[in-house]
Amino acid sequence: MSRASRGSSSAKEKSDSEAKCLICLSVVSSKDQRLQCELCEGWTHGKCEGISEQVFSLLQHENIHWFCTNCNRGIQKVIKTMGQLENRLDKLENEVREMKMQVQTVSGKNENKLCTLEKDMQVFKEQVDKSLVNIAKEMDLSKKPVDDTQVKTLVEEEIDKSISKELGFRPIQIEQMQETLSKTRASVEEEQDKEHRRNNIVIYRIPESEASNNTERSVDDNRFCLQLLSGLNVGVVDQDIRKVFRLGRRVEDADTGSRPRPVLVQLGSRAIKNLIMESLYKIKSMDSKFRSVIISHDMTKLEREECKKLVNEAKEKSQNESGDWIYRVRGSPGQMHIVRLRKAQ
C-alpha cells in the first residue's frame, strides 16, 4: 500500500524511480509502504517513521494529513502564526472598511456643500454680468470721458443694488461665501489626496543603484525593496508591490555627496501596509544593509507640514529635558502625537 502523491503525474513517476527516503536515504518504490509529506513533499518508508500497519491503513484516507518528522516539529508554530496573521488581517480589513465609509461620508458632505456654493456663485456671476450690461447702457463713453475711479464706483454701486434686490447678499457675505467655497474645495482635494496615498510607504536611505540606465536601476530598487519588506516576515510577496520609483531628479555627479533619493512604494492593500508599519522594529535585527533605512507613511503636503511641526516641537522638548527622557513623534498621518520615551542605556 502507498499513500497517493498530491503532485503531478510527472512528479509521481519521478518519485517512483528517483525519490529517496528522508530517513534511511534508500530508494522509495511503489512496492514499499511509503508516505509523502504534505509540506515538503518528501518520501519516507512507513517503517522508518515507525508507522504500524494499522496506522498506515488509516493514513490512506483522503481527509487524513501527514507530515514527516522534520516538518512536524515546526508545523504547529506555522499554523499558530497563520491563525494570528489571519486574525490581524481581519481586524485591519474591518478598520479599512470603516475608514473608507468615514471618508466617503465626509467627502459626500463636502461635495454637496461645494455644489451648493458653486450654484450660488454661478447665480451671483450671472447677476454681475447683467449689472455690467446695465452700466454699459447707462454710460455713453463716446459722449463724455469717464475715469477709472468713476467706472469702478458705478460698477460697485450697480452690483450692490443688484445683490440687495435679487440675491439678498451683502458684499461681506459674498466674501465669506467665496472663502467657504475655497476651504471646502481644499478639504475635498485633501481627502482625495489622502485616499490616493493610503497604501503607499516611503523608504529613505536606500543606496542609489550604480547601473547605467533607468531600467536596470529600477530593477535594483525593486529587488532591494522586496528583500527588505520580505525580511519583516509579514507575508509580503512580489505581487504585493505594485510600483517602486524614486522621488526627485537623479544627481548624475556621484561626488556631490548628496543623499540618496527617497523611494516610494505603492502596495496592493492597506492591510499589508499596516502589517509592515507594525513590524518596523525588526529592521534593527536584519542584515547590515537594511539597518539604516527608514520607512514612513506617504503623507500629503498638509500632513508633512504638521509632522514637521511636531518633530521640531519634540526636538525642543528633548533639548530642554534634563532627565533620562526623550520625545518622539508617533502615530499615523492625521493622528500623530508626541510621546515621552526613556533614553536607551
Please give the Cα distance from 145 to 128 (Å, whole number).
23
- Residue 279 DSSP SS3: coil
133 & 187 share domain: yes
pTM for the whole structure: 0.51
Closest CA to 195 of 299, 92, 275: 299
327: its cell numbers: 520625545
Q: 3-class secondary structure for 219-276?
A: HHHHHHHHHHHHCCCCCCCHHHEEEEEECCCCCCCHHHCCCCCCEEEEECCHHHHHHH
Low-confidence ranges of the chain (pLDDT < 50): 1-15, 141-143, 146
Q: What's the pLDDT at 70?
A: 78
293 & 256 share domain: yes
- Residue 322: count other Cβ atoms within 10 Å of its Cβ: 6
155 & 229 share domain: no
* 76 located within any domain: no
Please give the Cα distance from 120 to 66 (Å, whole number).
72
* 126 located within any domain: yes
193 & 268 share domain: no
DSSP notation for 109-176: HHHHHHHHHHHHHHHHHHHHHHHHHHHHHH--TTTS---HHHHHHHHHHHHHHHIIIII---HHHHHH
Decide: 159 and 125 in contact? Cβ < 8 Å. no
284 & 249 share domain: yes
Number of domains comprising the chain? 4
Q: What is the pLDDT of residues 202-213, one digit of tens each?
A: 999 999 998 889
The dihedral built from the CA positions of residue 269, 271, 272 and 276, taken in this order, carries a sign that is positive
- Among residues 197, 215, 240, the one where a domain terminates is 197
Please give the Cα distance from 248 to 259 (Å, whole number).
11
Closest CA to 203 of 273, 133, 153: 273
Q: What's the pLDDT at 197?
A: 92
End-to-end CA distance of the chain: 64
Q: What's the pLDDT at 49?
A: 85
* 291 located within any domain: yes
293 & 305 share domain: no
Residues of the domain holding 168: 102-197
266 & 181 share domain: no
211 & 188 share domain: no
Q: What's the pLDDT at 280?
A: 92
* 310 located within any domain: yes
Please give the Cα distance from 19 to 41 (Å, whole number).
10
* 340 located within any domain: yes
% of the chain surpassing 70 pLDDT: 64
